[in-house]
Amino acid sequence: MRSKMSLKEWLPLFGITVSAFIFNTSEFMPIGLLTDIADSFHITEAHAGVLITVYSWIVMLLSLPLMLLLNKIDFKRLLLGTIALFGIFQMLSAFSASYGMLMVSRIGVACTHSVFWSIASPAAVSVVSEKFRSLALSMVVTGTSIAMILGLPLGRVIGLHMGWNMAFFCVGVIAFITTAYMIFVFPKVPGGESFSIKQMPEILKNKTLMGIFLVTFLFATSYYTGYSYIEPFLQKVAGLSANWVTTTLTIFGAAGLLGSFLFSHYYDKNKYLFIRLVMISVAAALLLLYPVSKAHMAVVLLCAFWGMAVMAFNVTFQSEIITYAPVAASSVAMAIYSGIYNLGIGSGTWIGGSICTHLSISYIGMIGGVIAVVAAVICIFVVIKYMKEFDRAD
């Protein structure tokens, strides 16, 4: 029995990890460049934030339909086509001369995002042996973590010094390089299992999954109510310099690795306690955002704590989807999860923008925190109960 993955397994897995990095970097980048994009087109930050809202809603609407339409295509062709098309739309973003053109290009990127995140985990699992499936899935999550650690801040640095257009251009170049790399290293493997829309009731009748989906929606809404406008919040409310904003966003992402570490070491020992602590931590971080904003080091440390809790949630609930979904429907359940998460992103961004427009950007954390409290209450007192019932029956 092999104790290590072969090079033949590592090479395509590395390509999927890099792909996860650039897809999430592209999704997160407008958050770090919101002020510059707004200034470039002479619009408000709330107006620029609509880019994030529309992006997430497109992903929400198309994740399941596109997955059902394309799931019979082998993973190599689908991955290569998706990454290449992603690169093309990134270039359109880079050369956008108007807000409307930028919006159209971001909608195109969102379509490729819908496909990629429906197949990324199944594709990663397909290129390794059964023994290394967990490691393959963790590599996909690692790409997401690195995007938050390096992608968003690096995109912001490039944007500050060379213009926000160049940040999108660089992501497009990496996408084309990744496509070329994957041509040579990714094996030809079958597509996912065929799943008919007629089988959807199998998921909809699963009360544990439905509870997880509801909590996921509320979590993403609360998180992005604050996070979508964290860059202008740190500048205007916390009074951090541009360099300190970049540093804080980097720390936020880096803390996600700690969240993944805590998951891998403590989740299996007492998963219900772990879930409770994660939900409470997310709510606490949001509620404390404004109260600690005037103390620079305190707000930086709070953002680190917040980043840790967010990544712990993401890893935990993706694991729960795989645990409680029927085996044949796992890819569909993940597509639904991705769609619902992005519905929450869009809702949170819209709520945050409304707060900025009609109240004050100072309150994004407080209102997001209230939504997070609702998510925590439902999770702790309802969803965990369903999980325990399922586990006992199993």
Q: In the chain, where are the structural domains located? A: 1-192, 194-394
Q: What is the pTM of this model?
A: 0.77
Q: Which CATH number fits domain 1-192: 1.50.10.10, 2.60.120.1130, 2.60.40.10, 1.20.1250.20?
A: 1.20.1250.20
Angstrom distance (rounded) from CA 39 to CA 30: 13
Q: How many CA atoms lie within 13 A of 114 on its CB side?
A: 28
Angstrom distance (rounded) from CA 53 to CA 342: 9
Q: Are 222 and 375 in contact (CB under 8 A)?
A: yes
Helix ranges, 152-241 (H): 152-162, 164-185, 201-204, 207-227, 230-236
Angstrom distance (rounded) from CA 21 to CA 154: 12
What pLDDT is recorded for position 176? 96
Q: Consecutive 10-residue runs of the chain (394 residues): their mean pLDDT?
A: 74 89 83 79 80 82 80 80 94 88 91 85 76 70 70 72 83 94 84 59 83 95 90 87 84 82 80 94 95 90 93 83 72 80 86 88 93 96 90 71
Angstrom distance (rounded) from CA 255 to CA 79: 30
Topology of 194-394 in CATH? Growth Hormone; Chain: A; (1.20.1250)
Same topology between domain 1-192 and domain 194-394: yes
